[in-house]
Copies of this chain bind each other. A is one copy, B any other.
Amino acid sequence: MIAVSGATRLYAVLGDPVAQVQAPAMLNPVFADLGLDAVLVPVLAGAADLAEVVTGLQRIGNLDGLLITVPHKIEACAFADVLSPAVRAAGSTNAMRREADGRWTAENFDGAGFVLGLSAAGHELAGRRVTLVGAGGAGGAIAAAVLDAGAARLQVCDPDEERLSALLDRLAGHRPDRVAGGPVAELEGADLVVNATPLGLRPGDPLPFDPALTPAGAVVADIIMKPRRTALLRAAAAEGRLVHHGAHMLSHQLHLYRSFFRLAAPDRH
């Protein structure tokens, strides 16, 4: 990678925890390949500190963009001046950039990245029945993208009634006939079941749902990237289910980030 100097441009990825995030290992080689003097650094920000950390980072003159991950994707929307359509549908953001006029635009690539990753693995969504566990930041993004990709039915479950209801309200504006919600995952009849909760990030977390209760031909997907083989995916594989790893969601976002942050090789003329 490029050596950091005083002239290096900054990007930061915010999360809690942050040690497991893959974005620096994926984007820093992109900067290097393009010959850009830029670095993406991890930023550990607790929920109570999010406002001060984000507003502090946004005032750094050589910082051009932020990536946002668990658990800040929803709250971070408050620190953007412009929300993209995907952010408004999902109620969450995972990328923010500074515009030429100093305003900050929020985008969300989780949903598009997740759908692209599924498609690349041979799992098309058109006509499928999807159960989504977790109505948080990533869950909201995935829900909107899954509906846009033509899923026949989406059941969203979350024990937090208020959070679930807010997400259903946003989604109802798009395809109300295809969406249902409840506190418990409906696994029967599902073609695809997605974990969009943080359960599995920490050793000893309970499973977000029991993969043994999914249909025999179902795909079980996780959005957790580290560990790559979460306890959920190990249990699903042991039951003979097809599994889809969290890393796909991010790897298929790379070119979306490149475009959003306008990353291009410097003009040498």
Contacts and interface: CB of A to CB of B under 8 A. Distances in A.
Interface in A83-127: none
B24 A45 contact: no
A6 B19 contact: yes
A4 B24 contact: yes
A63 B46 CA distance: 13
A55 B54 CA distance: 11
B28 A6 contact: no
Contacts of A57: 56
Number of copies: 2
B44 A4 contact: no
A252 B3 CA distance: 22
A236 to B, nearest CB: 25
Interface residues of A, number: 40
Interface in A115-151: none
A22 interface: yes
B6 A22 contact: yes
A27 to B, nearest CB: 9
A57 B39 CA distance: 17
20 contacts: A1-B4, A3-B24, A5-B25, A6-B15, A6-B19, A7-B19, A7-B42, A10-B42, A18-B61, A19-B62, A42-B62, A43-B62, A43-B63, A44-B62, A53-B59, A53-B60, A55-B56, A56-B56, A56-B57, A56-B59
Interface of A: 1, 3-8, 10, 13, 15-16, 18-25, 28, 39-46, 49, 52-57, 59-63
Task: List 9 tightest A-B contacts by C-beta distance, closest first.
Answer: A56-B56, A44-B61, A6-B21, A49-B59, A7-B19, A44-B62, A6-B42, A4-B24, A6-B19
